[in-house]
Amino acid sequence: MGHELYPQDSTATLVGSAFERKINDNESIRIKPDTTDRLDEMRRLMGKDNLDFYIVPSEDAHGSEYVAASDKRREFISGFTGSAGTAIITRNNAYMLTDSRYWIQALDEMDHNWSLIKVGSQGQPQDWIEWLMSRVKDSRIGIDARMLAHEKATLINSKINSASVNSKLVYPPQNLVDLIWAEKPTKSLEMVYIQSTEFAGRDAKYKLAKVREWIREQPPTMSSYSKAEPTLAQTHVATLVTSLSCIAYTLNLRGSDIPYNPLFHSYLFISLDKSYLFVESAKLHPDVIAYLNAIDVEQRNYTDLWPFLRRRLWGEGKVLIAPQTSYAISLMLTHVRYTVAPSCIEMMMSVKNETEIEGMKRAYLRDGVSYVRFLAWLDAKLADGYDITEYEAGFRLTEFRRKNKHFMGLAYENISASGPNAALPHYSPKKSTAAMISRELPYLNDSGAQYYDGTCDTTRTVHFGRPTNEMCEAYTRVLQGHIAIDTAIFPEGTSGRQLDVLARKALWKDGLNYMHGTGHGFGAFLSVHEGPHSFASNVPLVPGHVITNEPGFYLEGKWGMRIESALVVKKVKTRGEFNGNVWLGFDRFTCVPIQTRMVKESMLTKEEKQWLKDHNQRCYDKISPFLKEDKRALKWLKREADRGIGLAPAAGGIAIDWD
């Protein structure tokens, strides 16, 4: 079943209304949320403002990738739970625009009222703005200005005001989803706490001083032809920080407002002589208030930001804002009071200091011990004939991690996936519907933990039986891409985007590919995704950047595989010097063996075989001292290390005899 689309919407994928799914050889009913009444009410509200379109982004007022329950408006209106996607409601239709990570999930979770737009696929738009621009003419487009980044609003306005489009962005005074969300969760009042310099490496006074130094360096906004001295109104005197990660980093504070992210809802205004933290006072212990006073930061309530900006309480001078700042703030300041500039805090945060790097090394070692205990447990249970669900496996790994020193929770929802579910890059099992882990298909576990001294993110794909030749060849190509990134040597000034092809070259050779990024920055007990660098970014990599290395391959409906390790950029010495250039490479944080059961030896070069042997032996050397009381895990670790030494071909590409 489905519904018809208008001719101009022929690129959309229809969402069916079948609710049955077979789980674990038993019939199970999964009821999708019926969004009919919600959409009817939404369109009634749209009619009051004469809106032709209403946009519901995933982000919150801070541009966060992961949001609190009270900010999951797009999930409420559509039923789609993925972390990335934009809902667009028209007078007659409803569309979900999301990337390849979530296509299957979105189709599975949304009811018949919705049509999926596969952003980034061949012949499709690259983002929701491009899709929208191809459809608006003489239209009124509604959106909550708090949920729209300044850079996106500027781009849209530059396109819709032309005579050929003649459309307008409209900002209703209240979010339309909030008006129909009767049981909307309340905002978190979890307490804010201090992140010690024992883990942060730099104190907040140092970081605030660096931000003020950056403010002073910004040129005044005056005509290049003017010879007069700049006025105070043309001079930059402050910056407004809206990114929750940047605020937490700058002040060495952490919170619990967003699942899996140690962040708290707030705004930070930094002037040349004073700082203001806009956060609910109920979330601050007396010791945190004393700490803020000691670093000369005045606390004001969260909503006090708006009168502060409206009344220009900082005085004369211009405020620097990041491109990702919400458009509501731009509108409040008006264009004469602000300048848009890339966040200096994001750049500071991305380059880890020695304390942070050493902390991450310790965190990844502890996390690696837990991961090995888990893989040994799972391998033994399956070998003994037990049936284990994807959910139970993920839960058990969390329990191993929970015992670690400095454990503060998971870094994101466990991705624990067997067979067809492993072909969904962001699949997360639910207890009631999780599949049994197959002994005949690859099992993928992508998970991580938050520790006081680092944020961990690791993926390994393993097999518990005899993999097919097709699996082995694909897995070996993924491994070759992983090794190519890990061993890359590159000159100073090289960006991640320039290296990305190394991860894909071996896959492309066989006509294979993956649609997600090759890797991303990550936090020092902050968010698991950080910028501005990544393997899709043009930002040059520098020593101290940390980044994941995670090529994969996914055969839709059958199986998927990914290998992910965390790296830190470092300076390296080369044989010769080319005009004195600085050369860079990577060090590996992750200390979890790579299973060789699906490795096809004949496809590897001598250097790749040696890398695999060295990696697994290194894991054994580092982890085995922590497993003296866990004979099962120690035996498993030794077996995997030995397998990395003597790869030999066997039927179906299997490396050696596994008994």
Residues 197-246 pLDDT 10s: 999 999 999 999 999 999 999 999 876 556 678 888 889 999 999 999 99
**SS3 label, residue 551:** coil
User: What average pLDDT score do residues 153-161 get?
Assistant: 90
What pLDDT score does 273 carry? 93
Please tell me the total count of domains within the chain: 3
Let me know if residue 361 belongs to a domain.
yes
CATH number at residue 385: 3.90.230.10
User: What average pLDDT score do residues 327-340 get?
Assistant: 91
Let me know if residue 271 belongs to a domain.
yes
3-state helix, strand, coil in the chain (%, to 5): 35, 20, 40
pLDDT in tens, 541-579: 999 999 999 999 999 999 999 999 999 999 999 887 775
Let me know if residue 562 belongs to a domain.
yes
Lowest mean pLDDT among 69-83, 172-186, 432-446, 637-651: 637-651
Cβ atoms of 298 and 274 closer than 8 Å: yes
Let me know if residue 226 belongs to a domain.
no
Residues 373 and 345 in one domain: no
CA distances from 208 to 205, 295, 417, 543, 559 (A): 5, 9, 43, 22, 48
Half-sphere exposure for 227 (CA within 13 Å, toward CB): 0
Our separate counts of H helices and E strands in the chain read 19, 31
What pLDDT score does 225 carry? 59
Let me know if residue 428 belongs to a domain.
yes
**SS3 label, residue 173:** coil
What pLDDT score does 613 carry? 96
The tokens describing 100, both together, are: 């390849």
**SS3 label, residue 248:** helix
pLDDT in tens, 499-518: 999 999 999 999 999 989 99
Res. 601: pLDDT tops 60 = yes
Residues 176 and 197 in one domain: no
Res. 425: pLDDT tops 90 = no
What pLDDT score does 647 carry? 45
394 — phi, psi (to 5°)? -60, -40
Lowest mean pLDDT among 156-170, 185-199, 255-269: 156-170
Looking at residue 607, its amino acid is E
Mean pLDDT of the chain: 91
**Cα dihedral across residues 326, 542, 426, 375: positive or negative:** negative
* Residue ending a domain, choose from 307, 328, 349: 349
Residues 280 and 375 in one domain: no
Looking at residue 128, its amino acid is W
Let me know if residue 601 belongs to a domain.
yes
What pLDDT score does 226 carry? 62
Residues 164 and 203 in one domain: no
Residues 310 and 368 in one domain: no
* Residue ending a domain, choose from 306, 326, 349: 349
Dump strand ranges (E) for 168-218: 168-170, 193-194
pLDDT in tens, 646-659: 443 343 443 333 22
pLDDT in tens, 360-384: 999 999 999 999 999 999 999 999 9
Residues 208 and 140 in one domain: no
What pLDDT score does 162 carry? 77
The sheet that has 140-142: what strands, in order across it? 13-14, 114-118, 94-98, 86-90, 53-56, 140-142, 168-170
Let me know if residue 206 belongs to a domain.
yes
Q: What is the pTM of this model?
A: 0.91
Res. 191: pLDDT tops 50 = yes
Grade residue 102 by pLDDT with cuts at 50, 70 and 90.
confident
Looking at residue 415, its amino acid is I
Question: Which of the listed ranges 9-23, 419-433, 633-647 does the model predict with the highest average pLDDT?
Answer: 419-433
Residues 157 and 214 in one domain: no
Res. 333: pLDDT tops 80 = yes
Dump strand ranges (E) for 550-634: 552-555, 559-562, 565-572, 583-588
The DSSP secondary structure of 503-537, one letter per residue, reads HHHHHHHTT---SS-S-EE--SSS-SSEEEEETT-
Residues 141 and 283 in one domain: no
What pLDDT score does 286 carry? 97
Residues 403 and 323 in one domain: no
What range does the domain containing 48 cover? 7-180
Residues 533 and 455 in one domain: yes
Grade residue 644 by pLDDT with cuts at 50, 70 and 90.
low
What pLDDT score does 21 carry? 37
Let me know if residue 397 belongs to a domain.
yes
Using DSSP bridges, classify how beta strands 168-170 and 140-142 pair: parallel, antiparallel or unpaired: parallel
Cβ atoms of 17 and 111 closer than 8 Å: yes
252 — phi, psi (to 5°)? 55, 45
The DSSP secondary structure of 443-492, one letter per residue, reads EEEEE-EEETTEE--EEEEE-SS---HHHHHHHHHHHHHHHHHHT--EET
Residues 373 and 286 in one domain: no
Residues 551 and 649 in one domain: yes
CATH number at residue 163: 3.40.350.10
* Residue ending a domain, choose from 331, 349, 367: 349
Cβ atoms of 320 and 239 closer than 8 Å: yes
**3-state per-residue secondary structure call for 402-426:** HCCCCEEEECCCCEEEEHHHHHCCC
Buried b (16+ CB within 10 A) or exposed e, 289-327: eebbeebebebbebeebeebbeeeebeebbbbbbebbbb
